[in-house]
Each structure stands twice: as C-alpha cells, then as structure tokens.
Structure 1
Amino acid sequence: MMFRTFSLTVLITYFLLATACKSTHISSVSYQNTAVDEQINTIDSNLVSIYLPYKNKLDNDMNRVISVCETDMVKNKPESGLTNLLADLLLEEGKTEAGNQSLNFVPEVSFFNYGGIRTGLQKGIIKVGKAFEIMPFENEMVFVQLTGTQLQQFYDLIAESGGGSVGGVRFVISDKKAKHIIVSGKPLQPENKYWMVTNDYAANGGDDLSILRQRLDFKNTGLKIRDVIIRNFEKQHKSGITLKENLDGRISNE
C-alpha cells in the first residue's frame, strides 16, 4: 500500500552518513522491503522512533476528510460530471487567485487536460489522498492570454479529440470542429483577448497543444493544481456543499 513500505536502502544510507567521517570499507550491500508499523522489531529501534512520527503525520494528512461526493464520477467525452467538476473548480479558483495576487484580469475560461485526470471519484467521503490520486503530478496553476482566433483553434483541437474538461465555455462539435462557441455567455469574438486558467504542462504545449505556446501573455500562480483541488474541496465541505455531478451540455455533438 502507498506509504506502507520502507526500504532498508534508507537504513544503509543512514549508516553511510553516520560513518562518513570514519575509515570504513563496505564490501557488499543488500536490501529488502519491510512493512513499517509499530510492531516492527528487526530494525534499529532508534531509527524507527525517528521515522514513525513522520509516518503517522503523513497518514493523518492523507486521511483528512475534505469533501463528500454524492455519486460516482468518471471522466468521459464529450463531457462528464468529473471533467466538468474539475474545469469549474479550476475556473473558480483561478478567479479567486487572480484577485489574491492583485492581477489586472480575471480568467474567463478554464482547461484541465484530459490525460492529467488519473482517476475518478467514488460516492462517499473524499480524503486528501484522493486528490493525490486524481492529480499525482506537480503541475502548477497558470494563466495564458489568447486571441479569440487562437481560442477558436484551441477548441477545434478539443473538438477533434472528442471533447474534454473545459469551463466557462459552450460549443457544438461538428465535423471535428468547434462551432457556435459561447464564452461567458457571449459569442466568441476573433479580435478579442481572453485569459484562460490551466496547468503549466498544457500551457507549455503538452498533449499536442502547441497553440497555447503561441499565447500573448503568461502568468504562473505558483500553486500546485493538486493543492488547488484540496483547497476548493475543503472550502465547499466547510460550507456544507457536497460534490455533485453537473452535466450541462457545455460540449455537445451535432
């Protein structure tokens, strides 16, 4: 299980550091994986006494309840409860962070790359560990500014892939193109400029999204996407709001 095994390689490293100032010759090294718990008695008790408090704190952090989900959610295309939830969460937190950092803009749309969503949500209690499962990567929340023409090209790519995790926008997929695009309740204007909140992986062209590298401007919040998810879930939970599936037809097939 995650965080439940402790390699004796660590003990070897500890020993090497402790004896670094001595003249010692090591003829061979071997290791094995050993489950760590309070009953362990084959490892130096002093080292275990150092390690266990950190292990217990980590276990407590990972098992902290941050939300309750009303139904199972999995990702799907053109839209799904999970992809919509994450995109809306990202847009909400992006707007909040733009204010927190006193930026002179507010993001109008959001994008959560489909491949970056690594698992779904199950009905019931949601703990911190689930956020690590959904987003195990160290991606950060960023803002990119695009022209309306570039945003059209971006949504064409999403349409070509069959849909995805987008917020603040509605469009119809027709012949693998995005048609009738509505942003913030208004038709997309090619000459306008729009701010999108996404992650640094996508912003740097990941998942064949090179159009995002042609952006007009870029801002990095310095916040991990995973931490943003945890923050939002906890905020909603403290307000008594549960996670609900929201299929609103933001992406539909013609």
Structure 2
Amino acid sequence: MIFKQLMVCICLMFLVSCKTKTLNLTKIEGKEIPISAELPPDQDIANFIKPYHDHVINTLDSTLAYAPETYSKDNGTFNTAIGNLMADVIYEQANPIFKSRTGHDIDFVLLNKGGIRAPISKGNITLRTAYEIMPFENSVVVAAIKGKNVNAAMTYLSQSKSAHPVSKLKLAINSDFDVVEALVKGKAIDENKTYYVATNDYLYNGGDHMTFFKPNDSVYDLNYKLRNAFIDYFTKVDTINPVIDDRFIQIK
C-alpha cells in the first residue's frame, strides 16, 4: 500500500515538473530556382506525358478545310471577308438548332470584330486555326428583342465605325454615319415585331457596350460554342471562299 502511494506521488511530481516547450520561428531560408530552358526536364515525367502531348499536337494540326487566301479582320472598312464568314457560319450552324427547339428562325446574327483573335492564313485550315481565331469559351445565345432594340443596334453599328460581323442584315450609312437603310432579311425593321438575334453570351451581357439586347422577350442559350460552330463548319466543307460584300456599307 505504501509502495503504491509512493509511486503515485512520484508520477505526480514528474507530471508537474514537465511542461510544453514553446517553439518560435526564428529563420526562413530559401533559394530561387529560375525556370528557363537551362532547367533540365525530368525525363520520367517527359516520357510519361509524351504520348498525350503528341496526340494533342496531331489532333490540333489535323486538316479540316482549305483557305485559298489569307483573311484578316483588318481587310475591310465596314465588313470583312473573315467577319462575314464568321457571322454566316453562326447562322448556318445555329439556326437548325434554334428552329428545332423553338419553331422559329434566327432573323440575323450580330457579333463583334474584337472577337476575331487571329486571321485565317492561306493553306490548310486545322483545328488549331479554330482555337486561334476564337480562343474564348463564348457560346451562341439568341435574344428575342423588339424592333426598337434592333434599330438601336443599327445606330450602334453606324456609330461604331467598325466592321462588326453581321449576317442576314443589310445596313447602309451616309458620310455622317447616319443610318440610310436597314434591312433584316430584305425587309424594313418593324419596331413592334419580335426579332430573334443570334450573338454570343459576352455581347448579350453588355460586352462592347452592346446594351440593346436587353430588355428582351426571352433569351435562349444554345449551349453551342462559337468555336465548335466553326469546327463543325470547317469539317463539312472542303474550301472556304468568304468575300467582302454590301451587307454593311457607307454611301458617300
């Protein structure tokens, strides 16, 4: 009994005598490792990713179509061959989807010049070409807007003095940049009519100061990326032949 009491006392004394030491950070050391061509690759990692890398490169460089000339967004004042192609492609690829879901046709397409991020160079058009032209993840949306909003869009185009891509639209302006004629599918704009306008989600939400898409009767997200529309179009044609035409002109 005395032995047990003695052991308990010894343990209590040991516990009381022990205390947790407080550790304080006194110094941090490090060194800079520059990432450059001189930094040797990890060969095991390089060997592991090589098959995937080669597959991606081969896919991106696979030929989809052919361009007989080089098409740039700067080759034209109020409409360009590449801009016309872009808008026409969106109409051709998106309209069947929209009509199957709603029973309506798209009335016209309106995009922005700044959305064309690279030219289409003469020669083979590849998957890489599509990603270079449209590197963003923008999707096609269709806004149902009244004719007065359409007229606001025409005023925007006339005052922007830029070759924003349009399709199924004809716009003529004078030397003062006032609208002389505005037609949708060959007909004058009716302010009370509802028009179905295809654009992208960035512009629909006010990008490039395009505020005329709101208010609207409704909006339809087709869940179809502009880039994918281009890829689908390139896949089904052999040779592209876009041209500058009279869809947006200035009369002097």
Normalising by the smaller structure, the TM-score range is 0.7 to 0.9
- Give the distance between the partners of 2:134 and 2:198, measured in 1 at CA: 16
Shift of residue 31 of structure 1?
Answer: 4.5
1:32 and 2:35 matched: yes
Confirm or deny: 8 A CA contact 1:71 1:245 kept in the other structure.
no
- Give the distance between the partners of 1:225 and 1:34, measured in 2 at CA: 36
Letter in 2 for 1:65: T
Shift of residue 46 of structure 1?
Answer: 2.7
Confirm or deny: 8 A CA contact 1:74 1:82 kept in the other structure.
yes
Residue in structure 1 matched with residue 242 of structure 2 by the alignment: 245
- Give the distance between the partners of 1:165 and 1:178, measured in 2 at CA: 17
- Give the distance between the partners of 1:213 and 1:57, measured in 2 at CA: 44
Confirm or deny: 8 A CA contact 1:159 1:177 kept in the other structure.
yes
| Number of residue pairs matched by the alignment | 220
Instruction: Write out per-residue CA displacement over residues 202-236 of structure 1, whole angstroms, 9 at most, x where no aligned residue.
Output: 11100011112322211111122111111111111
- Give the distance between the partners of 1:97 and 1:46, measured in 2 at CA: 47
- Runs of 4+ in structure 1 deviating by more than 6 angstroms, as ranges, are none
- TM value normalised by structure 1: 0.80
RMSD: 2.1
Residue in structure 2 matched with residue 73 of structure 1 by the alignment: 71
**Change in CA separation of 1:164 and 1:44 when aligned onto 2, cut-off 3 Å:** closer
Shift of residue 28 of structure 1?
Answer: 4.9
- Give the distance between the partners of 1:245 and 1:227, measured in 2 at CA: 19
Point out where structure 1 has 5 or more consecutive residues left out of the alignment: 1-24, 36-40
- TM value normalised by structure 2: 0.80
Point out where structure 2 has 5 or more consecutive residues left out of the alignment: 1-27
Q: Percent identity?
A: 24
SS of residue matched to 2:171? strand
Residue in structure 2 matched with residue 204 of structure 1 by the alignment: 205
Confirm or deny: 8 A CA contact 1:152 1:178 kept in the other structure.
no
Letter in 1 for 2:66: V
1:137 and 2:140 matched: no
Residue in structure 2 matched with residue 173 of structure 1 by the alignment: 173
Structure number with larger C-alpha Rg: 2
Shift of residue 84 of structure 1?
Answer: 0.7
Residue in structure 1 matched with residue 234 of structure 2 by the alignment: 233
Shift of residue 140 of structure 1?
Answer: 0.9
Equivalent positions of 1:1-254 (< 5 A) are 27-28=30-31, 30-34=33-37, 42-75=40-73, 76-99=76-99, 102-162=101-161, 163-174=163-174, 175-237=176-238, 242-254=239-251
